[in-house]
Amino acid sequence: MRAARLLRATLCVVAISWASATSASAITGVTALGDSLTDVHSAVTWPEIAAPLRGVNFGGPGFPYVVAQGGATSVTMLSGGQHTAAAALVQSGAADVAAIWIGGNDFLDSAVLIATGILTGPALTSYLRGIVNNIGTAMDTILAQNPARVIVVSLPPVELSPQAQQLADEAGIARLAAAVEEGNALLRDAIGARGQAYVDGAALIRDVLAGGALTLGGVTINPGNGGGDPHYFFRDGIHPSTTGQGVVAAVGLAALNVAAGEALAPLTDLEILTFAGIGGEYAGETFSTAFDLNSYVTFPPPPSSGCAVASASGGDARVLLLYGMIGAALIVTARRRA
């Protein structure tokens, strides 16, 4: 699956990589928008792992640059002012990268309608487009500030949540998965139109749990609801456990490297297990060697280009994507902090 994605990434694209003319500087700060998957007041989330283990600056104690709010939808992300708060941080120079991960609660609000086939066809597409338009508004608000770089994580694969697995039948699970994919296709177009970076978290989590369980550091991490047991990917019906958030943090660091020109060391299996409190069970690197996390971070092309996605190398400071056009060339530069 990952190989196929990388193959598609080369179509219609000439990628020319080069090191920055000046030495790479650390990201000033990262502001994070979203819901309880990111909100540091909900449970252990990926910023609380990335900050102490790799020094990513979310504003120091209390993580003031994390403006995500538990329970937020794409609508309340805007009405609650997350986008304007993030833009203010960028404008002040406190943060120069924004990460957006939202949409899970939008799906929870409509999960029954989608799973049962009541919300389908043009009505479903309109609903999904509304989510993406809200994310686009947040992106535009932040991008109005210079320098501004935005990394957007895909809509989450809600069909894999223990709650969905328990309540929906096989057909319902398939409908949810298809809706997530349709929404993410729209989201990639929106991101490509703005020249920003896309993290396919949905594909990563699906790949991680494809075998029914994840082997992390030689430890079996089960896909269900562990109620706080770190040997499970989820801590309840919808939220990842500390272990699951460790996987999210790992791809988050990859995103900062690929899309923002950083050189952060990848998280190791041992670090993730230790953070989750089960480091004593570590038996060697398994997850970190099995998954190329950089491949889940891409720069979608503008919707009209008709070309496939190109992926940058983690060691490159910038990637120039040269799209062949009739009579002209469209150049898309992935900035060091995308």
pLDDT tens-digit series, residues 37-84? 999 987 899 999 999 999 999 999 999 999 999 999 999 999 999 999
Percentage of the residues of the chain whose pLDDT score is greater than 90:
80
pLDDT at residue 226, as a whole number: 96
The dihedral formed by the CA atoms of 223, 225, 227 and 232, expressed in degrees to the nearest 10: 0
Average pLDDT over residues 90-117: 97
Average pLDDT over residues 230-249: 98
pLDDT at residue 305, as a whole number: 56
Which residues, other chains included, contact 92 with Cβ-Cβ below 8 Å and sequence gap of 6+? Answer: none
Q: How confident is the model at residue 306 (pLDDT cuts 50, 70, 90)?
A: low
CA distance linking residue 80 with residue 67, whole number of Å: 10
Tokens, residue 301:
């092309």
Which sequence spans correspond to the domains of the chain?
2-334
pLDDT at residue 41, as a whole number: 86
Which residues, other chains included, contact 324 with Cβ-Cβ below 8 Å and sequence gap of 6+? Answer: 12, 14
pLDDT digits (tens, 9 = 90+) for 183-203: 999 999 999 999 999 999 999
CA distance linking residue 95 with residue 58, whole number of Å: 8
Question: Is the per-residue pLDDT at 292 higher than 60?
Answer: yes
Average pLDDT over residues 208-230: 96
In terms of pLDDT, which residue wins out, 247 or 321?
A: 247
pLDDT at residue 26, as a whole number: 66
Q: How confident is the model at residue 87 (pLDDT cuts 50, 70, 90)?
A: very high
In terms of pLDDT, which residue wins out, 335 or 159?
A: 159
pLDDT at residue 147, as a whole number: 77
Average pLDDT over residues 20-31: 62
104-130 as b/e, with b when 16 or more CB fall inside 10 Å? Answer: bbbbbebbeebbeeebeeeebeebbbe
Region of poorest pLDDT, from 24-38, 141-155, 198-212: 24-38
User: Quick check: 154 and 199 in contact, CB under 8 A?
Assistant: yes
CA distance linking residue 85 with residue 63, whole number of Å: 14
pLDDT at residue 335, as a whole number: 32
Largest CA distance in the chain: 61
Determine how β-strand 150-153 pairs with β-strand 219-225.
unpaired
pLDDT at residue 22, as a whole number: 26
User: Quick check: 191 and 152 in contact, CB under 8 A?
Assistant: yes
Q: How confident is the model at residue 148 (pLDDT cuts 50, 70, 90)?
A: confident
Domain 2-334: what homologous superfamily?
SGNH hydrolase (3.40.50.1110)
Percentage of the residues of the chain whose pLDDT score is greater than 70:
82
Tokens, residue 33:
């928008």
Average pLDDT over residues 134-162: 96
Question: Is the per-residue pLDDT at 326 higher than 90?
Answer: no
